[in-house]
Structure 1
Amino acid sequence: MVVVTAEVTARLFMRGYVEFLSRSGYEVMLVADDLSALREPLFERGVRAMSLPMSRDPAPLRDLVSLIRMASLIARARPDAVVYATPKASLLASIAARVLGVPLRVYELWGIRFETARGAARALYRGIERVIATCSTVVVANSASLAARAAEFGITGADHVIVLGEGSSHGVDSKHFSPLAEVPEIDEATAAFLAEHEGITLGFVGRLHPDKGIDTLMAAASRLAEQGEDVRVLLVGGAEGAAVEFPPGVAVHLTGEVMDVRPYLGVFDVLVLMSRREGFPNVVLEAASMEVPAIVSDATGCVDSVIDGVTGYVVPTGDVDALGSVITELAGDPVALRALGVAARRRAVKTFDPEHVWRLSEEHLRSQLERALRRRTASR
């Protein structure tokens, strides 16, 4: 049984994995809040899809109902292993699976939500993470820095958390994300913005949330503009959290949410992700696969996504001067910029092919499951 909170997570992050498990001989059930649209295509590939309503944010009464439903589903299905990711699904599935004695309980840790939280929220989310880890037989972090941070924060012991390969939750499809792939045209407003403004194109893709370090990107762009550098900033994503402030004198365009990010990645010169926390940022792999290098912060997760000086650059979190210096250097050396992009795609194709990532997960799952079933047999 594989459990995540939202349908979009199941569709984008887990669908390929569960289909791979089915092809590898497992009987697989995928659970999320609403899988009605995926039920038939998954069934055709040997995967059962079950919808179980879950709320992403804390909602005690609804969470209790969801926990009871989760326990009922696990009791009926009697899985040998439950694999879960995302906070709410992991909390419900880990508790229910442990109470019901599921032999193998795998927590796919994709980020630490409380890392940038404060006060009561930090205490609450830290407590939730510790409960999940305690109820799990193994924690699989999707980056080395995330595994280290989990141990540092006391979520789990260093001997209880592992990283498979070089991390990532599901890798990147290098045929879909390719500079040679046929992609839609960018929208007219974005095309007009690019035609109107010149300079190195600094791109961002994701939620426009304070944790993503948009303020650092905008401050660096503003400083470069004041110094006479030609820069233009393209923000791809929907607003979430505090509003993004656009400093005067900076060429900035906000696309809003888009269905296909590839046309926009294709016009970036460099992706900038100055996030304050991540697990392993998928967008860096998607950009890399499109031969777009990245400048990332040295925050958890981000630091694992780039080989500094080879596939991009790593700069201190929140350091406007350091970010500006790297942008200036790249703007003045298009040959080096191109070389970074080529190296980034080479790494994405070689190290983060989805089949490779899924195979590592399946091999780990198989070895842990055999061990868990031996323990269960020995205890009888």
Structure 2
Amino acid sequence: MVVVTAGVTARLFMRGYAMFLAQAGYEVTLVANDVSDISRALAEAGVAAFSLPMRRDPSPMQDVRSLGRMISLMRRIRPDAVIYATPKASLLASIAARLVRVPVRIYELWGIRFETASGAARRIFRGIEQTIAASSTAILANSASLADQAIRLGITKAGRIEVPASGSSHGVDSGHFSPAAPRPALDVDTARFLEQYAGTTIGYIGRLHPDKGVETLLEAAALVREDGLEVRVVLVGGDEGLDIRNERRFPVHRTGEAGDVRPYLAEFDILVLMSLREGFPNVVLEAAAMEVPAIVSDATGCVDSVIPGVTGVVVPVGDVAGLREALKAVATDPTWARQMGIAARGRAVEAFEPRVVWAALEQHLRAQLNRVGERKNYRG
């Protein structure tokens, strides 16, 4: 059984892995809040799908009901292993699986939500992570820095957490994310913006949230323009409470949410992600596959997503001056930027193809199941 909270996460991150496991001979059930939009495709691949109401944010009454449904579902299916990711699904599935005595309980850790929290929220979310870890028989982090941080913050102990292959939750489809692949046309407003303003295109893709470091990006880009270099910024993503100010009035364009980010990546000279925390940023892999290098912060998860000086640049979290210099280096040396982009795609193809990531995860799953089998045989 594979469990995540949101249907969109099941569709984008776990559907391929569930199908991969089915092809490998496992009987697989994928569970999320709503899987109705992918249930037919899953069924055709031999994967059962089950919609189980779950809320992302804390909701005690709803969470108790969801836990009851999760326990009932596990008792009916009797899985040999449960794999779970995302905070709410992991909390419910880990507790239910432990109560039902599922022998293999694997927590795929994709980020630490309380890393940037404080006060009561930090204590609550830290307790949730510790509960999930204690209820799991194995923990798989999707980056080395995330594994280190989980140990440092007391979520788990060294020896209980591993990083399969090179990390990532599901890799990147380098055939889909490719400069040579057909893609939709750029939207009219963005095309008009790019025609109006010349210069190096600095891009950001993701939630417009304070944790994402967008303000650091805008401040550094404005300084680069004041240094006499022509740069323009394109922000792709939905607004999540970030008050974006452009007091210097340099060229900044917001596209809103995008179903397909490839038309924007194709226009970027550099992707910037100055996030305060990540697990392993998928957008950096998608940019890499499109031959776009990245400037990232040295925050958890981000630091693993590039090879400094080869596929991108790493700048300390919140370091406006450092980002300013990195952006100037890219803007004044397009040959170097191009070389990094080519190297980034090479790394994406070699280390982060989905089947490479899935095979590493399946190998770990198989090892866990084999250990259970060996214990049963030993006990007779």
State TM-score, norm by structure 2: 0.99
Equivalent residue, structure 2, for 1:135: 135
Cα separation, 1, equivalents of 2:182 and 2:367:
40
Equivalent residue, structure 2, for 1:273: 273
Cα separation, 1, equivalents of 2:150 and 2:110:
11
Cα separation, 2, equivalents of 1:111 and 1:376:
34
1:228 maps onto 2:228 in alignment: yes
CA contact (8 A) 1:218 1:247 kept: no
Equivalent residue, structure 1, for 2:251: 251
Deviations 1:33-52 (A, max 9, x none): 01112111111110000000
Equivalent residue, structure 1, for 2:325: 325
CA contact (8 A) 1:222 1:247 kept: no
Deviations 1:213-256 (A, max 9, x none): 00110110111122222110000000112322223232100000
**What is the Cα deviation at residue 376 of structure 1?**
4.1
Matches within 5 A, 1:56-95: 56-95=56-95
Equivalent residue, structure 2, for 1:151: 151
**What is the Cα deviation at residue 377 of structure 1?**
4.8
CA contact (8 A) 1:104 1:368 kept: yes
Equivalent residue, structure 2, for 1:28: 28
Paired residue secondary structure (2:177): coil
**What is the Cα deviation at residue 203 of structure 1?**
0.2
CA contact (8 A) 1:269 1:292 kept: yes
**What is the Cα deviation at residue 379 of structure 1?**
4.7
Matches within 5 A, 1:1-380: 1-379=1-379
Paired residue secondary structure (1:53): coil
CA contact (8 A) 1:103 1:373 kept: no
TM-align CA RMSD: 0.9
1:209 maps to amino acid: H
Deviations 1:5-58 (A, max 9, x none): 000000000011000000000000000001112111111110000000000000
Cα separation, 2, equivalents of 1:38 and 1:222:
43
Paired residue secondary structure (1:159): coil
Cα separation, 1, equivalents of 2:35 and 2:124:
29
**What is the Cα deviation at residue 374 of structure 1?**
2.6
Cα separation, 2, equivalents of 1:242 and 1:350:
36
2:124 maps to amino acid: L
Cα separation, 2, equivalents of 1:72 and 1:247:
56
Paired residue secondary structure (1:167): coil
Deviations 1:100-151 (A, max 9, x none): 1100000000000000011111111000000000000000000000000000
367-376 vs 261-270, greater mean Cα deviation? 367-376
State TM-score, norm by structure 1: 0.99
Cα separation, 1, equivalents of 2:331 and 2:29:
49
215-224 vs 366-375, greater mean Cα deviation? 366-375
237-246 vs 273-282, greater mean Cα deviation? 237-246
Give the 4+ runs in structure 1 shifted more than 6 A: none
1:8 maps to amino acid: V
Cα separation, 2, equivalents of 1:24 and 1:248:
56
Deviations 1:324-369 (A, max 9, x none): 1011011111111100000000000001011111111111100111
Task: Give aligned-pair identity as a percent.
Answer: 62
Gaps of 5+ in 1: none
- Equivalent residues, number: 380
2:324 maps to amino acid: G
CA contact (8 A) 1:211 1:277 kept: yes
Cα separation, 1, equivalents of 2:92 and 2:51:
14
Cα separation, 2, equivalents of 1:194 and 1:242:
24
343-352 vs 245-254, greater mean Cα deviation? 245-254
Paired residue secondary structure (2:256): coil
Cα separation, 1, equivalents of 2:299 and 2:218:
18
CA contact (8 A) 1:103 1:376 kept: no
